[in-house]
Amino acid sequence: MTPVNLLDLDREALADWFESIGEKRFRATQLFRWIHQRGECDFAQMSDLARGLRERLSGVAEVGRLPVVSEHVSADGTVKWLFDVGAGNAVETVFIPEDDRGTLCISSQAGCAVGCRFCSTGHQGFSRNLSTGEIVFQLWHAERVLRARLGTPAGQRVVTNVVMMGMGEPLQNYSALVPALRIMLDDHGQGLSRRRLTVSTSGVVPMIDRLARDCPVALAVSLHAPDDALRDHLVPLNRKYPIAELLGACARYLPAAPRDFVTIEYCMIDGVNDTDAHARALAELLRPRIACKVNLIPFNPFPASGLKRSTSERVAAFASALQQAGLVTTVRRTRGDDIDAACGQLAGEVVDRTRAAQRLAAAREQPIALPSTRRQRAGDQEFTWR
């Protein structure tokens, strides 16, 4: 009999499972606390459970752990783990320590099928979705290891914020994502605030609407362009869910959201989306449609992208233009780039089923829409080719 991985089960599902094996439902809460609050995986150590139950659990259940392939620590304290998820696949998880918080960036898929031009994961292609247990394990492991390493007192968390912003598109793995979010939010589990748990999406519109109903947490949207012509090239998913539909979903999400704004992620790529004209267009796009905060992310280069990072002066000018237009704007500080743990650099090991390398190599040969005084007209858009 294959043991049940208890990390796959939120508290309600765990209570159902207990009932199915003839045990009292309330025992699920006790077990849930041992696993998620105390980081315990040895049933023999769970002292407030009856000895007979502990012995029974050891035969039918487990706290499923992933092999740790490697751990790297950056000069700035950022930690990156590579976890083996089987069949030649591995995923990365990153912990970013700051003075007032500790943020964990979690992966949801082995690879990614979206194929954004500027993302290292997308260039690896897609193998499979992670299970709920594989998603939750990343937080379980990080919290357990960091507590021991830092000597953190029992009951005090090291990971205070979680962002579903690692490898993969979370909303394309919705059935595993939502139970994982519920485990992270549960006061008997990881106990995170909805404001401190963020799902980042490239724009899967129907799933944004579902998330608002099922488990609303903080929402971040990877926009990266102020118009459809450019975003089609940078974020291929835009061809299915164009900007107007995406911003409409964001507006519908806000009434359920724990924050009164949506975070707009915008990767700054030299000569591609970072001009003054792009800044003006972005402000005109966002201001009338949604309450938002814009987070500018200096692009983290990798060889296969063929792209360069905007200069610090250009990023500052872009931020200033947005601020002058009335948009709350921040510039993300690059962390962990010396261990390839910065935003857009996560790339574990993926057995690609999507021929991503060929598709993205072809995309590099395609023109990118840029504003210019030399213009050609195509439909309702005006653009020139680089």
* pLDDT, tens digit (0-9, with 9 covering 90-100), for 19-76: 999 999 999 999 999 999 999 999 999 999 999 999 999 999 999 999 999 999 999 9
Look at residue 348 in the predicted model and tell me its pLDDT.
59
Do residues 102 and 143 make contact, with C-beta atoms less than 8 angstroms apart?
A: no
Look at residue 337 in the predicted model and tell me its pLDDT.
65
Q: Which long-range contacts (CB under 8 A, 24 or more apart) does 302-305 make?
A: 302/120, 302/123, 302/340, 302/344, 302/345, 302/347, 304/120, 304/123, 304/357, 304/360, 305/117, 305/118, 305/120, 305/123
Q: What is the pLDDT of residues 88-124, one digit of tens each?
A: 999 999 999 999 999 999 999 999 999 999 988 888 8
283 φ, ψ to 5°?
Answer: -65, -45
**Active-site position among 92, 134, 143, 169:** 92
Among candidates 362, 113, 112, 354, which has minimal Cα distance to 233?
362
Look at residue 305 in the predicted model and tell me its pLDDT.
85
- CATH domain 4-62 topology: DNA polymerase; domain 1 (1.10.150)
Q: Which two tokens mark 330?
A: 């921040």
86 φ, ψ to 5°?
Answer: 90, 160
**Average pLDDT of every residue of the chain:** 90
At 24, is the secondary structure helix, strand, or coil?
coil
Amino acid (1-letter code) at residue 145:
V
Look at residue 303 in the predicted model and tell me its pLDDT.
82
Under DSSP, the state recorded for 284 is H
Where in the chain are the domains? 4-62, 68-370+379-383
Spatial distance between the Cα atoms of 195 and 380, rounded to a whole number of angstroms: 39
Chain CA centroid to CA 150, Å: 25
Q: What is the pLDDT of residues 156-201, one digit of tens each?
A: 899 999 999 999 999 999 999 999 999 999 999 999 999 999 999 9
Q: What is the pLDDT of residues 336-380, one digit of tens each?
A: 566 554 554 445 577 876 666 566 556 556 656 554 433 333 333
Do residues 63 and 41 make contact, with C-beta atoms less than 8 angstroms apart?
A: yes
**Is 267 part of the annotated catalytic residue set?**
no
277 φ, ψ to 5°?
Answer: -65, -40
> What CATH homologous superfamily does 68-370+379-383 map to?
Aldolase class I (3.20.20.70)
Q: How many CA atoms lie within 13 A of 104 on its CB side?
A: 27
User: Which H or E run includes 200?
Assistant: strand 197-201
- Strands 109-111, 126-129: pairing is antiparallel
126 φ, ψ to 5°?
Answer: -130, 140
Spatial distance between the Cα atoms of 380 and 289, rounded to a whole number of angstroms: 20
Among candidates 376, 368, 380, which has minimal Cα distance to 235?
368
At 264, is the secondary structure helix, strand, or coil?
strand
Helices (H), the chain: 11-20, 27-36, 51-60, 120-124, 132-150, 174-185, 205-214, 228-234, 243-253, 276-286, 312-324, 356-364
Instruction: Tell whether the model's pLDDT for residue 335 goes beyond 70.
Output: no
At 154, is the secondary structure helix, strand, or coil?
coil
Spatial distance between the Cα atoms of 50 and 43, rounded to a whole number of angstroms: 10
Beta-bridged to residue 218, according to DSSP, are 198
Q: Which residue has the tokens 């979680």?
A: 162
**Is 343 part of the annotated catalytic residue set?**
yes
**Active-site position among 116, 267, 292, 343:** 343
Among candidates 284, 288, 283, which has minimal Cα distance to 250?
288
